Amino acid sequence: MIAKIMKKIKRNPIASFIVDVLVIVAAALVLSLIIKTFLIRSFFIPSGSMMDTLQIDDRIIVNELVPDLVALNRGDVVVFKDPGGWLYAEPEQVESRGLVGLGDWFMEAFGLSAADSSQHLVKRVIGVGGDHVICCDTEGKLTINGVPITEPYILEGVNPSDKEFDVTVPDNMFWVMGDNRSNSEDSRFHGDLPSKGFVPKDSVVGRAFVLSWPFERWAWLDNYPDVFKNVPNN
Protein backbone atom coordinates (compact mmCIF):
# COMPACT_ATOMS: atom_id res chain seq x y z
CA MET A 1 0.00 0.00 0.00
CA ILE A 2 2.71 2.49 1.03
CA ALA A 3 4.82 1.52 -1.98
CA LYS A 4 1.91 2.24 -4.33
CA ILE A 5 1.29 5.63 -2.72
CA MET A 6 4.97 6.55 -3.03
CA LYS A 7 4.98 5.58 -6.72
CA LYS A 8 1.97 7.83 -7.35
CA ILE A 9 3.66 10.68 -5.51
CA LYS A 10 6.85 10.29 -7.54
CA ARG A 11 4.85 10.47 -10.75
CA ASN A 12 3.25 13.74 -9.63
CA PRO A 13 5.89 16.52 -9.50
CA ILE A 14 3.72 18.79 -7.34
CA ALA A 15 3.02 16.06 -4.78
CA SER A 16 6.67 15.08 -4.82
CA PHE A 17 7.69 18.69 -4.18
CA ILE A 18 5.24 19.00 -1.26
CA VAL A 19 6.56 15.79 0.30
CA ASP A 20 10.15 17.03 -0.04
CA VAL A 21 9.25 20.31 1.66
CA LEU A 22 7.47 18.52 4.50
CA VAL A 23 10.47 16.23 5.04
CA ILE A 24 12.85 19.20 5.12
CA VAL A 25 10.64 21.13 7.57
CA ALA A 26 10.25 18.07 9.81
CA ALA A 27 14.01 17.49 9.81
CA ALA A 28 14.62 21.17 10.62
CA LEU A 29 12.15 21.06 13.51
CA VAL A 30 13.77 17.93 14.96
CA LEU A 31 17.23 19.45 14.59
CA SER A 32 16.14 22.72 16.20
CA LEU A 33 14.58 20.83 19.10
CA ILE A 34 17.83 18.94 19.66
CA ILE A 35 19.86 22.17 19.48
CA LYS A 36 17.50 24.03 21.82
CA THR A 37 17.36 21.19 24.32
CA PHE A 38 21.03 20.31 24.46
CA LEU A 39 23.24 22.94 22.81
CA ILE A 40 22.49 26.63 22.20
CA ARG A 41 19.76 29.22 22.43
CA SER A 42 19.36 32.91 21.58
CA PHE A 43 18.31 35.70 23.98
CA PHE A 44 17.87 39.45 23.66
CA ILE A 45 19.07 41.96 26.25
CA PRO A 46 16.14 43.82 27.90
CA SER A 47 18.09 46.28 30.09
CA GLY A 48 21.28 48.32 30.35
CA SER A 49 22.71 46.50 33.38
CA MET A 50 25.52 44.92 31.34
CA MET A 51 26.65 48.05 29.46
CA ASP A 52 29.02 48.59 27.74
CA THR A 53 29.55 44.88 27.16
CA LEU A 54 25.92 44.41 26.12
CA GLN A 55 23.44 47.04 24.96
CA ILE A 56 19.64 47.02 25.16
CA ASP A 57 18.17 44.78 22.42
CA ASP A 58 21.50 43.10 21.66
CA ARG A 59 21.20 39.41 20.81
CA ILE A 60 23.41 36.80 22.46
CA ILE A 61 23.97 33.10 21.88
CA VAL A 62 23.97 30.93 25.00
CA ASN A 63 25.71 27.59 25.52
CA GLU A 64 23.20 25.43 27.41
CA LEU A 65 25.79 22.76 28.22
CA VAL A 66 26.90 25.14 30.98
CA PRO A 67 26.84 24.48 33.91
CA ASP A 68 25.55 20.90 33.81
CA LEU A 69 28.30 19.47 31.58
CA VAL A 70 30.77 22.37 31.46
CA ALA A 71 31.70 24.31 34.59
CA LEU A 72 30.71 27.94 35.03
CA ASN A 73 33.73 30.10 35.88
CA ARG A 74 34.40 33.51 37.34
CA GLY A 75 34.06 36.13 34.62
CA ASP A 76 31.53 34.21 32.54
CA VAL A 77 28.47 36.10 31.29
CA VAL A 78 25.55 34.01 32.46
CA VAL A 79 21.84 33.84 31.63
CA PHE A 80 19.59 32.63 34.43
CA LYS A 81 15.96 32.39 35.41
CA ASP A 82 14.68 34.63 38.18
CA PRO A 83 15.56 32.78 41.44
CA GLY A 84 12.56 34.52 43.01
CA GLY A 85 11.97 38.20 43.64
CA TRP A 86 14.60 39.64 41.30
CA LEU A 87 12.09 40.75 38.65
CA TYR A 88 9.45 42.92 40.26
CA ALA A 89 7.22 43.33 37.22
CA GLU A 90 7.05 41.94 33.74
CA PRO A 91 8.95 44.33 31.43
CA GLU A 92 7.06 45.73 28.48
CA GLN A 93 7.69 43.69 25.35
CA VAL A 94 9.00 45.77 22.45
CA GLU A 95 8.06 44.59 18.99
CA SER A 96 11.05 43.96 16.74
CA ARG A 97 10.78 45.23 13.18
CA GLY A 98 12.55 44.75 9.87
CA LEU A 99 15.42 42.29 9.64
CA VAL A 100 15.60 41.88 13.41
CA GLY A 101 11.90 41.07 13.62
CA LEU A 102 12.17 38.55 10.79
CA GLY A 103 15.15 36.93 12.48
CA ASP A 104 13.29 36.76 15.80
CA TRP A 105 10.28 35.18 14.13
CA PHE A 106 12.42 32.56 12.41
CA MET A 107 14.42 31.74 15.56
CA GLU A 108 11.30 31.52 17.74
CA ALA A 109 9.49 29.41 15.14
CA PHE A 110 12.27 26.84 15.29
CA GLY A 111 12.66 27.04 19.07
CA LEU A 112 16.10 28.68 19.03
CA SER A 113 15.09 32.06 20.42
CA ALA A 114 13.43 32.74 23.75
CA ALA A 115 10.18 34.68 23.47
CA ASP A 116 10.45 35.14 27.25
CA SER A 117 13.94 36.73 27.25
CA SER A 118 12.59 39.51 29.46
CA GLN A 119 11.89 36.92 32.16
CA HIS A 120 15.57 35.97 32.32
CA LEU A 121 18.54 37.91 33.66
CA VAL A 122 22.04 38.39 32.30
CA LYS A 123 24.97 39.15 34.63
CA ARG A 124 28.64 38.33 35.05
CA VAL A 125 29.78 35.64 37.49
CA ILE A 126 32.06 37.14 40.13
CA GLY A 127 32.06 34.41 42.77
CA VAL A 128 31.59 30.64 42.62
CA GLY A 129 31.00 28.12 45.40
CA GLY A 130 33.39 28.64 48.32
CA ASP A 131 34.54 32.11 47.25
CA HIS A 132 34.77 34.90 49.82
CA VAL A 133 33.85 38.12 47.99
CA ILE A 134 34.25 41.52 49.65
CA CYS A 135 33.63 45.10 48.62
CA CYS A 136 35.87 46.81 48.85
CA ASP A 137 39.55 47.19 49.77
CA THR A 138 41.27 50.52 50.49
CA GLU A 139 41.70 51.09 46.73
CA GLY A 140 38.01 50.51 46.05
CA LYS A 141 38.53 47.11 44.41
CA LEU A 142 36.61 43.90 44.96
CA THR A 143 38.55 41.12 46.62
CA ILE A 144 37.98 37.41 46.05
CA ASN A 145 39.54 35.07 48.59
CA GLY A 146 41.77 37.92 49.72
CA VAL A 147 42.99 38.88 46.24
CA PRO A 148 42.01 42.29 44.82
CA ILE A 149 40.88 42.27 41.18
CA THR A 150 40.98 44.96 38.49
CA GLU A 151 37.85 44.72 36.33
CA PRO A 152 38.28 46.08 32.77
CA TYR A 153 34.75 45.06 31.77
CA ILE A 154 33.04 47.54 34.12
CA LEU A 155 31.38 50.52 32.43
CA GLU A 156 33.88 53.37 32.23
CA GLY A 157 33.56 55.89 35.04
CA VAL A 158 31.63 53.51 37.31
CA ASN A 159 32.95 52.19 40.63
CA PRO A 160 33.28 48.42 41.21
CA SER A 161 30.51 48.85 43.79
CA ASP A 162 29.03 51.71 45.77
CA LYS A 163 27.39 49.16 48.07
CA GLU A 164 29.58 47.34 50.58
CA PHE A 165 29.19 43.60 51.08
CA ASP A 166 31.03 40.64 52.55
CA VAL A 167 29.74 37.25 51.41
CA THR A 168 30.84 33.64 51.16
CA VAL A 169 29.28 31.85 48.21
CA PRO A 170 27.63 28.51 49.11
CA ASP A 171 28.26 25.39 47.03
CA ASN A 172 26.23 25.19 43.81
CA MET A 173 25.56 28.93 44.00
CA PHE A 174 26.96 31.98 42.20
CA TRP A 175 27.49 35.63 43.09
CA VAL A 176 26.71 37.73 40.01
CA MET A 177 27.03 41.41 39.15
CA GLY A 178 26.25 43.57 36.13
CA ASP A 179 29.04 45.36 34.26
CA ASN A 180 27.09 48.61 34.68
CA ARG A 181 27.48 48.51 38.46
CA SER A 182 25.58 51.75 39.08
CA ASN A 183 22.53 50.47 37.19
CA SER A 184 22.34 46.77 37.97
CA GLU A 185 20.10 45.16 40.55
CA ASP A 186 22.25 42.10 40.98
CA SER A 187 23.33 39.86 43.87
CA ARG A 188 24.20 42.90 45.99
CA PHE A 189 20.57 44.02 46.21
CA HIS A 190 18.81 40.74 46.95
CA GLY A 191 20.32 39.71 50.26
CA ASP A 192 16.90 39.93 51.93
CA LEU A 193 15.49 37.15 49.71
CA PRO A 194 15.55 33.44 50.60
CA SER A 195 18.42 32.96 48.13
CA LYS A 196 20.42 35.70 49.94
CA GLY A 197 21.32 37.18 46.58
CA PHE A 198 23.00 34.05 45.29
CA VAL A 199 21.96 32.40 42.02
CA PRO A 200 21.37 28.63 42.34
CA LYS A 201 23.00 26.39 39.76
CA ASP A 202 19.54 25.04 38.89
CA SER A 203 18.44 28.53 37.80
CA VAL A 204 21.25 28.89 35.27
CA VAL A 205 20.21 28.55 31.62
CA GLY A 206 23.73 28.75 30.22
CA ARG A 207 26.79 30.85 29.44
CA ALA A 208 26.58 33.61 26.83
CA PHE A 209 29.54 33.25 24.48
CA VAL A 210 28.64 35.29 21.37
CA LEU A 211 27.17 38.74 20.79
CA SER A 212 25.34 37.90 17.57
CA TRP A 213 23.37 41.08 16.81
CA PRO A 214 23.78 43.78 15.62
CA PHE A 215 26.20 42.43 13.02
CA GLU A 216 28.60 45.36 13.29
CA ARG A 217 29.16 44.51 16.97
CA TRP A 218 29.43 40.74 16.52
CA ALA A 219 31.99 39.44 19.02
CA TRP A 220 32.98 36.58 21.27
CA LEU A 221 32.13 37.40 24.88
CA ASP A 222 35.30 37.40 26.94
CA ASN A 223 35.37 35.96 30.45
CA TYR A 224 38.64 37.79 31.24
CA PRO A 225 40.64 34.89 32.71
CA ASP A 226 43.60 37.19 33.47
CA VAL A 227 41.43 39.12 35.95
CA PHE A 228 40.94 36.02 38.09
CA LYS A 229 44.16 34.07 37.42
CA ASN A 230 45.67 34.88 40.83
CA VAL A 231 42.49 34.11 42.78
CA PRO A 232 42.89 30.84 44.73
CA ASN A 233 40.05 28.35 44.99
CA ASN A 234 38.56 27.84 48.44
Annotated catalytic residues are 49, 123
Q: Which residues pair with 207 in a beta bridge?
A: 63, 78
Contact 178, 190 (CB under 8 A): no
- Nearest Cα to Cα of residue 58 among 67, 48, 70: 48
Measured CA to CA in angstroms, residue 82 lies from 9, 14, 123 at distances of 51, 49, 12
Round to whole Å and give the CA distance between 202 and 155: 29
Where do runs of H (alpha helix) occur along the chain? 2-11, 13-38, 98-109, 225-228
